[in-house]
Amino acid sequence: MSKSFPEQLLNLFRPTVRAEKPYLVPGARPVSVKLNQNESPFDLPPAMKRELLEAFFQIDFNRYPSEQPIRLIQAIESHCGVEAGSVLVGNGSNELTYTLGMCLITNGTPVITPSPMFSLYASMVRLHGGIPVRVNCTDTYQVDVDAIIAAIQEHEPKLTILTTPSNPTGLAIPKKDVERIVKASSGFVVVDEAYHEFNPEGSALDLQMKYPNVIILRTLSKAFGLAGLRLGYLIARPEVVAEMMKSRLPFMVDRLAEQVGLLLLRHEELVSDRVEQIKVYTAALHQALSSMDEIEVLPTDTNFVLFRAGVDADALLRKLTERDVLVRNMGGYDELQGFLRVTSGTPSENKAFLDALTSAVG
């Protein structure tokens, strides 16, 4: 094999791809206490896994699934109480964001997002040739709603993207403010509700009846505990879904993932019980962190907590990792220098984290 790879071949790639960096979870490694990706601490109960194995036996692995996972779509429509034709299901909600890009972004399209914002969005916008217009947060890390509205008036964007509660900050946008933003926009407003089950403000879904420009994005990776299966969904008015459907690749959701999604939707009480437990664990974790003198903590409306220890975040992350606990350094976000993010695990995982933190900063 030749040592030097011809640069002109790589230059055939779209410049937007050439300029990008791959999405990698920093510091990922096997540890006993994994609190770095806002996952659920709960796997499926073994009895449900066995039920699934039985169901998997009935599946013809040699046959394609249907183009779109229609049974799962219908189950989600009934779970959300929305009319038929309002839901698209994808291979995780991240995958659906690419459909938004494909449908709405052309060269030079401005896309407004608050900053800080889940980093995948800016990359998705750039890859499709769009221009992310970042609107700085307030000094308490809240979304600056007036500034977002001013940016909408200035740029008249086809697309504005919010996440509430926000990853990375953990803070919800008050529902009335989501409505103000939606009302001010003649383009679409995507509300990413990856953490909506934890949101004290409730979902923005009901705004969709009044405002046809609202698109809701959700995932089964967090409260449903299915990050490993890759299921996410989008809710929009049927006319919007029908248009988006034209750009969807077929067969994005495999038969196994569809079965698992259907099973969990038949056990909604399991999910809601677990959500209640996670809320209690997160509140206790937040309380414990707040009681530590050297730690600054942000409020949280999600299943994770942002904190700063007044020491170098990389060094602290290393010390925690040496103690077998993995959290996330948020220094990649300009506004969050020095902050770390810890996902709430089980009480014993949270205790292991707090013990490790106490010894690391002590």
Strands 304-308 and 296-297: antiparallel
The β-bridge partners of 215 are 190
**Choices 69-77, 92-100, 133-141, 320-328; region in contact with ligand PLP by CB under 6 A:** 92-100
Q: Which of 40, 86, 221, 300 binds ligand PLP (CB under 6 A)?
A: 221
Stretch in the footprint of ligand PLP (CB under 6 A) among 63-71, 89-97, 177-185, 283-291: 89-97
Note whether 229 and 195 are within 8 A (CB): no
User: Which of 94, 113 has the CB closer to ligand PLP?
Assistant: 94
Which is nearer to ligand PLP, 259 or 303 (by Cβ)? 303
Which of 86, 94, 113, 282 binds ligand PLP (CB under 6 A)? It is 94
Question: Which has the closest alpha carbon to 144: 156, 134, 153, 135?
Answer: 135
Between 262 and 361, CB nearer to ligand PLP = 262
Alpha helices (H) along the chain: 7-10, 15-18, 46-58, 70-80, 93-104, 120-127, 145-155, 175-184, 207-210, 238-245, 255-266, 268-290, 313-322, 347-361
Instruction: Figure out which of the listed residues 55, 77, 80, 118 binds ligand PLP, where binding follows CB under 6 A.
Output: 118
Q: Are 27 and 211 within 8 A, CB to CB?
A: no
Q: Which is nearer to ligand PLP, 160 or 219 (CB)?
A: 219
| Peptide bond connecting 238 to the previous residue in cis, omega within 30 degrees of 0 | no
Distance CA 236, CA 99 (A): 13
The residue within the footprint of ligand PLP, chosen from 114, 116, 170, 232 (CB under 6 A), is 232
Residue 213 in contact with ligand PLP, rule: CB under 6 A: no
Q: CA-CA distance, 287 to 98, in Å (whole number)?
A: 38
Q: By CB under 6 A, tell whether 93 contacts ligand PLP.
A: yes
Residue of 100, 111, 130, 192 interacting with ligand PLP (CB under 6 A) = 192
Residues within window 33-62 making contact with ligand PLP, judged by CB under 6 A: 38
Q: Is the peptide bond before 116 cis (omega within 30 degrees of 0)?
A: yes
Using CB under 6 A as the criterion, what x/- string covers residues 131-170 for binding ligand PLP? --------------------------------x---x---
- Enter the DSSP assignment of 220: S
Q: What distance in Å separates the CA atoms of residue 189 and residue 205, rounded to the nearest whole number? A: 12
Q: Is 219 in the site for ligand PLP (CB under 6 A)?
A: yes
Residues that bind ligand PLP (CB under 6 A): 38, 92-94, 118, 163, 167, 192, 194, 219, 221, 227, 232
